[in-house]
Amino acid sequence: MAGLTGIFKTEPETTQDADKLVDLFRNRSELKKEFAALRDEKYQLQDRIKERQGAIERVQQKLNHLETLLLDPEWVHNVVVFYQLRRLASHCENKVARFAEQLKQQREEKSHSKVLAIWKTRLAKESEKVEHEIGEHRMRLQLLEDQLQAERHKLTTMGGISKMLHGNEQESIVGEIEASIAEAQGQEQALLLELDRVQNASPPDQEGLGISAKRSINFMILSFAQQLYLDYKEDDLVGLAKESAEKSVGAINYGGKADCDDLLAMLTERREEVEQADNFAGILQQRAKLIAKHALFRHDDDVVPVPGTVATIYDIDANGVVRQSDANLLGENYFAVAKALSR
């Protein structure tokens, strides 16, 4: 018996040890997962550090290169011209982006104003209809109340014999009229609720522009980009500005100090002339129509035309005379026009 008791006493302890062992393995597995996650995070951080270090080194190389050019008397003036041309490129890009955003906003507001006008007209008609129904209903209700008053008066003025013979019938008439009035009052309440719903209806949400509207916007944006191109076409300032935006400083040689000074003077003078000109809205619309006339699209639901079909520049003078030349502004992405177009 003592031996058996000893055997049975050890069973709870063995079960408890087994549970501890399971918990130990479970904790060990979770620790392994956490360790693996921390290790992955460490590698990711190391990669990011390498990327940042590489970016810093590239910036430092550019600064060193720029410092070398600025210390070189033959290149210092080229550096100034380069960044002035890049400034022009950035200025034109910002003008196109701002024009596109304002145009899109105007068209959306105009479109939404039309929707609101139609909605308000429909709402006014519905409100007028319900108000008319309420007016007619109140007239009928008034007639019923007048009739009820008359029938009640008739009932109360009946004599003894008349009331005995016709009293029940008269009371029935009064009851029917009272029921009709109660029903009419309920209908009037329903009409009042309908009127409140109509008058407090929420306006429709602003919807996006359709394909036709977006195409029209894009033609105007392309027309504006062409205007900028023509403004700086003389002395190929537009080409030089585009080149400065695509290349790095030191990659382009504009000549000696005299050449650079002349180029800076032309650039300043031309920019002042362009900024003073502001009466070309009619020309933009006329040019947009010419662009639209020849534009083709790959698919029926596309809003951006095939670049090659809008590669004709339309130079329109004050007399409306049109001169044409070739330049694929969209294909070569002058002034980042592709980014500004409505999609």
User: Please, where are the H alpha helices in 204-326?
Assistant: 211-231, 237-246, 257-276, 281-294
pLDDT tens per residue across all 343 residues of the chain: 445 444 444 455 567 767 776 777 777 777 788 888 888 888 888 888 878 877 777 776 666 655 565 656 677 889 999 999 999 999 999 999 999 999 999 988 888 888 889 989 998 998 999 889 888 888 988 898 888 888 788 777 777 777 777 778 878 888 888 888 888 888 888 988 988 888 888 888 877 788 999 999 999 999 999 999 999 998 899 999 999 999 888 888 888 999 999 999 999 999 998 888 777 788 999 999 999 999 999 999 999 999 999 999 999 988 889 999 999 999 999 999 999 998 8
3-class state of residue 43 by DSSP: helix
Task: Give the predicted TM-score (pTM) of the model.
Answer: 0.68
Helix ranges (DSSP H) in the chain: 2-71, 76-156, 160-199, 211-231, 237-246, 257-276, 281-294, 337-340
Ramachandran assignment for 320, one of left (phi > 0), alpha (psi -120 to 50 degrees), beta (any other): left
| Pairing label, strands 322-326, 312-316 | antiparallel
User: What is the torsional sign of CA 251, 255, 256, 260?
Assistant: negative
Parse the chain into domains and list their residue ranges: 1-71, 76-113+211-340, 117-199
Would you give the end-to-end CA distance of the chain in angstroms?
92
